[in-house]
Amino acid sequence: MSSVDAPVADASRRPFRGRRLRLGDVLLQGVAGAAALGATVLLGLIAWKVVDGARPSLSKFGLGFITRIAWNPVPGHEIYGAASFLFGTAITSLVALLIAAPLAMGIALFLTELSPRLIRGPVTALVETLAAIPSVVIGLWGIIVLGPQLRLHVEPWLHKAFGFIPLFGTPSSSGASVFTAIVVLTIMILPIVSSITRELFLGVPHDLKEGALALGATRWEMTRGVVFPYARGGIAAALILGLGRAVGEAIAVTQVIGGGLLVSWNLFSTGDTLASKIANEYQSATSRLQSASLIYLALILLVFSLVMNVAAQVIVRRVSRRMGIGVSR
Amino acid sequence: MEAFATFAAVIAVGILVVVVWSVARRGAGALNLDLLTKDPVDFAFGNVKEGLANAFAGTIVLVGLATAMTLPVGILVAIYLNEFARASVRTGVSLALDVLNGVPAIVIGIFVFGLFVVGHGQSGFAGSFALACLMLPLVSRATMEILALVPNSLREASLALGVPRWRTTLSVVLPQTIGGIVTGTTLAVARVAGETAPLLFTSSIVGLRTSWNPHHALQSIPVAIFELSEQPDPADHARAWAAALVLLLFILFASLGARWLATRGRRKLTQR
């Protein structure tokens, strides 16, 4: 956002001393300021409301909720815990990021260094269009097209070839599994990470790159030695933003992950993430404690996303200040 | 390395093609005028068939209301940040907006649920408010960027002629930015038209008849797709694909159109 650093001519912003205040000026500044205040306060309001909604569960289970593997809504035996869903969120988002990161950087490299100029524009637009597809449509495609394909072809092969690794255990019986969710999440975060990385790579100064090439480096050596280190901070921010997106995705994941308490390392089993559990169960929640526990899950999700977002924004701002360019998403 | 990079790009484009092709092929088969104009009909025993008119109408109302809620606030925030605020305030509020952008949609849904639905029941207003929360960072960021592009000479000339600050901002600067605001809003609309999670909590318990009244919950296209996709009946899946096709066409048309307008508008503005 270059607007953050663009120098504004101070003459038009310095208060006019001795000039009487016009009602219109006061009004506009007041109303606009109120809007800005409201936007900031909104964040605090969100945090407050979510804590408020989770209160019954917070007071009953406290922090032990976070480490307990349990989810039993049967009245009289109600007990809830987030650990299984934390595990689900961690395994789906991290593996998706692991797969998407090199692919995204490859795409960014392709679009900045390797591709012929003519196709650069259209291919960039196509990758960004992938980001525009709503998650519910990707989820629909995931249930009906991707899931069965994975179940019929990919999972048995992986199990046969790599079954000794606990990750690739018994293939799923329907298309719904953590594995399908991972593929879906990878598809969803790929465009975000690649578009940020692409802009970062575009911002690397030409003389640095050409200097390396002039010294005899191959293109890969130049990329590894100049582009990556220069863009290091921004790439970290891009990865964090992608991770944040994956962690927060509820709809597409709940459509393809199958549901249940995830307690195994087998990627082909079903399970739930924090977000998908909320989406799955909210409308059928029977007791106040169950609803409050679901909101407790949302609270954990909110804390995660706040921390990740603030970290990513701080990195982005520090990086763009250092490089003097705007990184816009 | 170069092979891998090309391979990655091919995969990305390939996935896009596969998904869009799936939606197009399966959706086109089930898309007909009845789907758009007839309501769902309950043929007893929960066997709900026929059209999705209530979803299409509902989405129009929800997104329209959300835009009406977001636009004034987003523009005002951008005006404040760009024209009046100190640098520290600008950084702080921008950070808050960017963090708001990253809050998962489902958490926003729960927030609005706690704020408006508890005790009052679901409504189109609550759903629109949730969508508006999602749109706000996008609209204000776009407006801020286009405001920053307006040359200061324009502001200074107006002020030098004796036009008050508020009049300068509203009558001289703002008209220059209309194109950018339209673009930013269109992109925000494209993003929000497909959001399901916030509406699940605020506007999902709906009747079958088409309603344009936001005082009670309205069906929406993404929620309809979500519910249909979880059904076992292939006929329901077909209707889901058709709705997805309409949604996708709208979003693609809006996104690409907005981006094309944006490059044109920016070029015009910076050529001054």
- Percentage of residues in chain A with pLDDT exceeding 90? 22
Inform me whether the pLDDT recorded for A303 exceeds 50: yes
Cross-chain residue pair B104–A309, CB shorter than 8 Å: no
Is B130 near chain A, with CB under 8 Å?
Answer: no
Per-residue pLDDT, averaged over A193-216, amounts to 89
Higher per-residue pLDDT: A260 or B135:
B135
- Stretch B111-129: mean pLDDT: 89
Choose between A313 and B156: higher pLDDT: B156
Whether the predicted pLDDT of A328 surpasses 70: no
Radius of gyration of chain A from its Cα atoms, rounded to whole angstroms: 24
Q: How confident is the model at residue B46 (pLDDT cuts 50, 70, 90)?
A: low
Single-letter residue type at A123 = V
Reported as a pLDDT band with limits 50, 70 and 90, residue A14 is low
Q: Which two tokens stand for residue A74?
A: 């049967």
The three-class DSSP label of residue B48 is strand
List, in sequence order, the alpha helices (H) in A62-204. Answer: 83-109, 117-132, 135-141, 147-149, 155-162, 178-202
What is the CB neighbour count within 10 angstroms for residue A322? 11
In this predicted model, what pLDDT tens digit does every residue of B194-204 receive, in sequence order?
999 999 989 88
Name the token pair of A276: 């998908």
Interchain CB distance below 8 Å, B13 and A278: no
Instruction: Supply φ then ψ for residue A286, to 5 degrees.
Output: -100, -40
Q: Which residue has the higher pLDDT, A6 or A40?
A: A40
Question: A45-49, A223-227, B100-104 — which is least confidently predicted?
Answer: A223-227
CA dist A199 to A101, A111, A194, A234, B225, Å? 15, 10, 9, 9, 34
Provide the pLDDT for residue A299. 93
Report whether CATH 1.10.760.10 matches the domain B31-270: no
* DSSP, res A258: B
Confidence (pLDDT) at B121: 85
pLDDT score of A16: 55
With 50 as the cut, is the pLDDT of residue A85 above it?
A: yes
Using a CB–CB cutoff of 8 Å, tell me whether B231 touches chain A: no
The pTM of the whole model exceeds 0.90: no
Nearest CA in chain B to A104: B8
**Residue A3 predicted with pLDDT over 70:** no
Average pLDDT in the A243-247 region?
91
| Residue from A139, A29, A280, A283 nearest B113 by CA | A283
Count of beta carbons in the 10 Å neighbourhood of residue B229: 24
Say if B69 is an interface residue toward chain A (CB within 8 Å): no
CA separation for the pair A26, A125 (Å, rounded): 43
Mean of all residue pLDDT scores within chain A: 84
pLDDT of residue A296: 92
What CA–CA distance (Å, rounded) separates A62 from A68? Answer: 11
**A305 and A250 Cβ atoms separated by less than 8 Å:** no
Contact B201 A310 (CB under 8 A): no
Tens of pLDDT, residues B224-261: 999 888 888 888 888 899 899 999 999 988 888 888 88
* pLDDT band at residue B111 using 50, 70 and 90 as cut-offs: very high
Side chain identity at residue B186, one-letter code:
T
Q: Tokens at residue B128, please? A: 């629109």
Rounded to an integer, the average pLDDT of B21-38 is 80
Q: What is the largest CA-CA distance in chain A?
A: 83
A223 vs B contacts (CB less than 8 Å): 1
Contact B234, A173 (CB under 8 A): no
- pLDDT value, residue B74: 93
- Mean pLDDT calculated for residue range B157-181: 89
CA distance to A142, A149, A193, B191, per residue, from A139 (Å): 5, 14, 20, 16
SS3 content of chain B, % helix, strand, coil (to 5): 80, 0, 20
- The Cα–Cα gap between A259 and A276 comes to 8
Domains and CATH numbers, chain A: 84-323 (1.10.3720.10)
- State ipTM: 0.88
Residue B217 has pLDDT above 60, yes or no: yes
Determine, for residues B197 and A279 on separate chains, whether the beta-carbon distance falls below 8 Å: yes
d(CA B179, CA B182): 5
Per the prediction, chain B carries an average pLDDT of 87
Residue B163 CA: distances (Å) to CA of A68, B154, B167: 65, 12, 6
- Per CB-CB distance under 8 Å, the chain A contacts of B5 are 106-107, 109-110, 113-114
Question: Average of pLDDT values for A244-261?
Answer: 88
- Chosen from A1, A249, A251 to mutate, greatest number of chain B CBs within 10 A: A251
Selected residue of B7, B25, B106 to mutate for chain A interface (largest A Cβ count, 10 A): B106
Q: Please name which of B35, B30, B31 lies closest in space to residue B52, comparing C-alpha atoms.
A: B35
* Set of chain A residues whose Cβ sits within 8 Å of the Cβ of B180: none
- What are phi and psi for residue B69, nearest 5 degrees? -75, -40
